[in-house]
Structure formats: structure tokens, C-alpha cells
Amino acid sequence: MAEHLRILIADDNYSDRIILKALLAREGHEVITAEDGLQAVDLFMTEQPDIVLLDLMMPNLDGYGAASRIKALSDERLVPIVFLTAMTDVDALTRCLEVGGDDFLTKPYQKDILHAKLRALRRIQQLYKTVSHQRDQIRKHQKRMEREQQQAKAIFDRIAHPGCLDAPFIYHHLSSLHIFNGDVLLAAEKPGGGVHVFLGDFTGHGLPAAIGAMPISELFYDMTGRGFALSDIVSAMNSRLCELLPVGVFCCAFAAEIDIRESVVRVWNGGMPNGLLWRDGQGVVAQFRSTHLPLGITDDDRFRAIVETIGFEEHDRLLVYSDGMTECSNANDEQFGEERMLQCVGTVSNNQVIINELLSEIGRFCAGTSGSDDATALEVLIVPEQMQGRPAIADKNERHGPKDFSFALTLQAQALRESDPLPVLLDVLMQIPGLRVHRGQVFAILAELYSNALEHGVLQLDSALKRSSDGFAEYYRLRHEKLMALDSGRIEVFCRHCPKLDGGTLEIQIHDSGQGFDYADRLNRPLENLRGYAGRGVGLLSRLCERVEYSGNGNTVAIQYRWRQVDIHDE
């Protein structure tokens, strides 16, 4: 044997003790001897041997009792115990193993077997020592990672946009098994009213999985505030994550827009569980299934940002959740599952919060177990009057841009197919000092003018399709189909701003290449007859603008919006 060990022998038989000591000392081992079990326990504490050889039958304390005490004193050390016995009784030998014995050595001793057993036990001891060292290193690494995660969370919390998760129409639940988890939950009000929401689930957990949260959060809030469409925001997120994330890391995502102007929900689902649209008295009326790959996998050329569109009714609820909600397991290792999820949602009444009922049901199902994944859920109660957007606050540090100016923009077929001009137009107009406070109304006017010019002018879509909720899907399917096939047509935009002592007047004119419509008949109808799924744009423009004029064949509309300066001292 190349390695010399410290070995404790406990045997009340003097001759057996001397023979065994001689065999071991001849191989260079250091041998300590005890005459009974009590002496063996005392010597174990003072001498710290590598291996213990115990006779089974000894006075004062037998081998069973000595083995139990020695195992308790070993703490995290692995000190093999070998019983010395001439017994062959199965019950006695079984008890030896139960009290902590690792092997047997039968009398009379055979030198080759003795040394072979010592070598085997030493190999096990060395393996245990290696594993223990690795465990200690992992503990140190885990503590270091926890400190880094705490620091990362503190940084993220300081720079993260608060959004509108605290709005009265939003309920959410975010629980994590880690300090900084892989689930990302975002919500922001659009400039002209309505809401964008986003739930992302990065692969893995902890800090590596949450690295992408910062850039996509920044993109989401910035682009929503500037009036970008949901499809543009999702495309930008995908492009950024493709640049940043390593291979194998991606983000399953569910993004949705509550459009109160069109009374529609637009959804993009890439790899997330089905989103649900719930209606009082009917339960789940629509499921938004995953039809796209997760973010961060597909490059820009192959990425599809097509959204699903469906009409909503007031007080409908949109429910979005991560797979941690359905994959939680009970004591029998049975998952909660999508079927139980739908059953629970189907029994909710209008005065209940769906998320609270779900969490209660999941808690009962998984009683006595701990979670195994990040569980996140978002519920949006669709109440248009609460989604008009929070009043903007005047900024004393606002940049001083031009006040008296005009500009024109012409969009040909390719530009109409591939871009959304609203963020560009809004960015330019927001340079006017003092107008940023009225950002929501300006965006609502631009959005209404442009969507009418594109959809009813250039694309010749019939708004009558939207008079029923069933017609929404067909309307937006045709919109996408016609827009992608567009090879001619144009929209011309002209904007002029005239400053006033207390604010200014914004004039916008939009002309499209479409056939126009009978605007005289439309304008002669009472506004209440224009409500519902179609025809609301005329009423909206009339409420917001001092003047709305149609000309030509109805394919040219000019508005005048009078705004007044807000004194920052009044905020």
C-alpha cells in the first residue's frame, strides 16, 4: 500500500488485537488499540483515525453501541467502520450495517482480504472527500451568485420603468424561486389610450435567464410611449435578443395590445401557454395559441410579427400566464395542467379576480409541496374609460424645438407595406414646446386619420365587417392580405403648427389615393348612430378637434387641433 493510514482497533481479546495490529503495522499503518467500546469512542475523539475496526462482542459497550456513537461523532467526515466477527447469524450481521457498519472482517484474519478491504474503503473515502470539496465549492459559488443576483436586481429595480402594473384594471402575480428570475412582466399605456402588456419567460432561471430583461424592458416602454405598433415592438425585441443572447437562450413571449379605439385585442404569442379572453356569463370565449417561435431564435429576415386580432366587449378579461402555473405538481407528482386551469377559469364570476381564484385552487392542489418553476400571471380587466391614458405632466426640462413650422410626408406602396409612420410623425410634433403634455390626444388624432386613410382609402376595406365581433378576424385577415399585396397607392401627410400666446394650433391634412366615401351622408348622421364596432372615427375626431373637414371624393381630410399651454406650477 502506498498510503499509510491511522487505524483504530477495538477488541477485548488480547491475542486477536495483537495479531491484527502486527498485520497492519507491517504495512506501515499507524495503529491505535482499545480494549472495549467505551475506550474506542474516547480514542476516536482524541486520535481522529481514518478507519475503525470494531469487535462485535466487547464489555462495557459492545460494537453496536460503539459504532452508533462513532458515526454520530464523525459529523461530515466519512470514517469507515469494519466489524470484526466470527458470527454468521444473518440478523446480527444485518444489525451491524444498520448501526453504521460499512463492511465485515471474519476471524481468523486473512492478510490479502484485509488489505484489499482497506484499499477499497480508502478509495471510497477519497471519493467522498472529493465530492465534499466540490460541494463546498458549489456552496461558495452559490453564495457568490446570490450576492450578484441581489446586486443585479437592485440595479434593474432602479432603472426599470414602473409602467402601469399598478393600474386599477390590471392584476398580476409574480413569484420566483430565485432572486432575479426568468419571467418578465411589463405593462404600459399607449399615448392615445389603450394598453400594451408583455409576459416573457426566458430559458432557465436566475441571473443568466434574466439578462435579456433590461434591454427588452427598455424597448417595450420606449416604443410604446412613442406610439409604435405591437408588431414593431415585438420585432425590435427579437432583433435585440438575437444580438445579445448566447446560443440556446431564448425568450418565450406573449405580447398583447388592448386597442380601445378599435375595440380589439391584438396578440402575438411565441412559445407561451394559451392566452385566454374571458367574458362574463360565457366564460372563455377565445384562446390565443402560440403560432410563432420564441424571441431570440429567428433572425430579422425570417421573423414573423403577424398579430392575431379579435374584438372585445367591455369588462372582458385578458388572462396571460407562464407555464409555471400549469406545471406545478402535487404530492403525487401530478401536474395542475391546462384542463384544470380552464375548469377553474370557467367557474369564475364577474366580481371575482381570476388570478386570485387560480392561485387559491393551485394552492389547494399543490398543498404540501414546493414550487418548481417561476409562476407568473397577468389579468387585464378591459374597461375603456379607465384606459384613456394618465394625464401627462409638463416637463420643466423640456427641449425647446421649433414653434412655427410645417412639413410634408408622402408614403408610397412599399413604405405603406413595411413601416408605420405614426411614431415618426409623433416624434417630430413632440418637439413643439408644450405639446408633449397633449401627446395622447395628438396620437389619437394621427392614428385615426392614418388608419382611415390606409384601411378604408388605399386598401378599400369595408368597416361594416366590424359591426359584429365575429367580423373582426376576417377584417384584419383581409387587411394583412391586401397590405402585403399592395403594389400601388399612396398617402400624403401635411402638418403645420401655428403658435399662440397660450399654446398653439396644429393643422393636419391627410390625402389618400383611394376612391373616397360619401362623407356628406356620414357627417349628417347623429354621433350616437356612429357608435359600435364601426364608424367611431368621425365622432372621435369631432370631439378632439375644433374643425374636421372632408374634401374631394372624401379621400382628403383636414383637422385643426387647438391646444393650450399647461403651467408646470399647476401640476
143 occurs within a structural domain = no
Cβ–Cβ under 8 Å, residues 196 and 266: no
298 & 366 share domain: yes
Per the confidence metrics, is the pTM higher than 0.75?
no
- Asked if 101 and 194 sit in the same domain, the reply is no
Note whether 67 and 40 are same-domain residues: yes
Pair (347, 488) in one structural domain = no
Asked if residue 115 and residue 190 are part of one domain, the reply reads: no
C-alpha pair distances (Å), 481 with each of 21, 320, 471: 92, 28, 15
3-state SS, residue 517: coil
**CATH classification at residue 500:** 3.30.565.10
- Residue 140: inside a domain, yes or no? no
Query: What are 266-318's pLDDT values in tens digits?
Result: 999 999 999 999 998 899 999 999 999 999 999 888 999 999 999 999 999 99
The answer as to whether 571 is a domain residue is no
Please indicate, yes or no, if residue 18 is contained in any of the structural domains: yes
Looking at the fold, whether 115 and 218 belong to one and the same domain comes out as: no
Name the one residue in this structure whose C-alpha cell is 386570485. 356
Short-list 116, 269, 133, CA closest to 197? 269
- Both 377 and 502 in one domain: the answer is no
Between the alpha carbon of residue 413 and those of residues 232, 339, 409, 463, 483, the distances in Å are: 18, 46, 13, 22, 9
Q: Which three cell numbers stand for residue 243?
A: 444580438
pLDDT score recorded for residue 570: 47
Same domain? For 376 and 432 the reply is: no
Could you give the number of structural domains in the chain? Answer: 3
For CA atoms 104, 108, 114, 116, give the dihedral sign. negative
Is residue 438, in this structure, part of any structural domain at all? yes
For residue 227, the one-letter residue type is: G
In a domain, 548, yes or no: yes
Of 386, 413, 431, at which residue does a domain stop? 386
CATH number for the domain including 37?
A: 3.40.50.2300
User: Last residue of a domain, which of 92, 109, 131?
Assistant: 131
Could you tell me if 127 and 196 lie in one domain? no
Q: How far is CA 212 from the centre of its chain?
A: 10
Q: Are residues 356 and 470 in the same domain?
A: no
Structural domain of residue 483, as residue ranges?
405-564
In a domain, 373, yes or no: yes
Residue 345 near residue 297, CB atoms below 8 Å: no
In a domain, 530, yes or no: yes
Give the residues of the chain that fall short of pLDDT 50: 1, 527-535, 569-571
pLDDT value for 100: 82
Q: In this structure, are 111 and 248 located in the same domain?
A: no
Last residue of a domain, one of 88, 116, 131: 131
Report the sign of the C-alpha dihedral through residues 88, 90, 91, 92, in that order. positive
φ/ψ of residue 230, rounded to 5? -60, -40
Which of 190, 353, 352, 162 shows the shortest CA–CA distance to 258?
Answer: 190
Q: What CATH number is associated with residue 170?
A: 3.60.40.10
Are 316 and 228 in the same domain?
Answer: yes
